[in-house]
Structure 1
Amino acid sequence: MRLLLVEDNVPLADELIQGLQRQGYAVDWLADGRDAVHQGSSEPYDLIILDLGLPGLSGLDVLAQWRASGLATPVLILTARSSWAERIEGLKAGADDYLSKPFHPEELQLRVQSLLRRARGLANQTTLEAAGLQLDEGRQCVMRDGVDIQLTAAEFRLLRYFMLHPQQILSKSHLAEHLYDGETERDSNVLEVHVNHLRRKLGRSVIETRRGQGYRYAGSSE
C-alpha cells in the first residue's frame, strides 16, 4: 500500500516514515501544501496523511482542492490537540478521520489500517481476512486454520494488497504503483518472483495468472 505523508515538521515526518515503512507501507513525503495539491491528485495513493499547518497552502485548502477535483482517496488529518475547530473544519472539508498531536505511533498504525479496510468495504473486520487466510499485520505473517505461515517483508506487502482486493484482476504496473514509493525502481520481474514465493507457501492456485492482464487473488489452496 502506497501512502502520501504531507508534514512540514521534519523530525516528526522522519519518525512517521520509519514507522510506516516498518509496517510495510511505501511512503512518499512532501512538506509544502502547494506540492501536495498536484502530487496527491496525480499519483495513485491508497491513503494520505495530511497535516493542516503547512507552508505554501494550508492543509484545509489542499484537502478542499482535492475533494473539489473528485479525489476520493482516504485522508487522515493531523491536528494540534487543542484545535477542535480545525478538526471540525477538516471533517467538513472531506477528511475521513483525524488524529490529534501528540499521538502514539500505534494509534496512527491502527487508524491507517482501519481507513484502508473501510475504503475496500471491510470496515467491520478487526483483522484482514480473505478466502480462508487471516493476515496478522502486526507480526506480518499469515494464518490458515490457526497455523502461522511466515512471510518476508516483500511477500507480506504483496499479499496484503491482494487480500484487500480479492477477486480483482491487478496488472503488474498497477501493483508496482501501489507497492513502491516514487523513488524506488519498479521491476515487474521482481513482482513475479514474489508471486511465485507466495504460491509455494500458500498453494499454487491462491494467486491466479490472467495472461496479458495480470494476477487475481482467488484464495484457493487446492
Structure 2
Amino acid sequence: MNLLAFLFLCHPGFFHILCVLLPWREGSVFSSVIQAAGDDEFRRLAAWLKSAPNSAREHAALRMARLVVGTGDEALDYLMHAEVVLRETDLPPAAAAGFAGAALERHLRQLVLQLRGDIEVDGKAAKLTRWADQLKKEGVFTAADVQLVANIQGYRDSAAHGWMERVSANDAAWVIENAREVVRRYPLAGRLSLVQARDAS
C-alpha cells in the first residue's frame, strides 16, 4: 500500500501539511500527491475507508483542531461539543442529547428573533416545537422540519426529565446529526436567505 496515499486519505490534515512544506511547482500539491500515489491506489483506499471501523473524521488531531479552531458558527460549535460528550466521556448519552437539543432550541429562538424582531412571551413553555411552529408560520420551515424538531424534542425532554435509560447512544448520535442538519439548512441570515436555503435543500 502506498504510504503517501494512506496518509493523505486517513489524515486529511496531511494535505494541509504538504501545502505548507512542499513547493508549488508544475501544478498543485494535490495533483502531485495523486501522481505519486497512483489513481488505482486511491480508488482502492477510498473503498476501504467507506467500510473502515473508525472514521478519519475522528482522528485525534482533527478532533483537537475542531475544538481549538471551532466551526465559525455558535450552534455548530455547541453540537460539536455535544458529540465530544457522547463519544469521549462516561456521561450517559442523554447528557449529549439534552445539550444538543438545547443548542438547537437556542438556534431556532435566534432565527425567530431575527425574522420577527422580537420574541413573544405568552407564558407558555418555550420548547423546540414552539419555535419550529413559528418558523413554519413565517414560511421558513416545512411540515417535515416541524416533525423532525418534534422528534428531537422527544429525546431532549427524556434527557431533561432524567429518563436516562430512554436515550441510547444511537439516539443521541441521531439527535446531534439531525440538529446539525437543521442548523446548516437554516443558518442565521436574512429572511430571504432562509427561505432560499429551505427551497434549495
Using structure 1 for the length normalisation, give the TM-score.
0.27
Which protein has the larger Cα radius of gyration, Structure 1 or Structure 2?
A: 2
More strand by share: 1
More helix by share: 2
Query: Which structure carries more relative contact order (alpha carbon 8 Å, separation 6+)?
Result: 2
Using structure 2 for the length normalisation, give the TM-score.
0.28
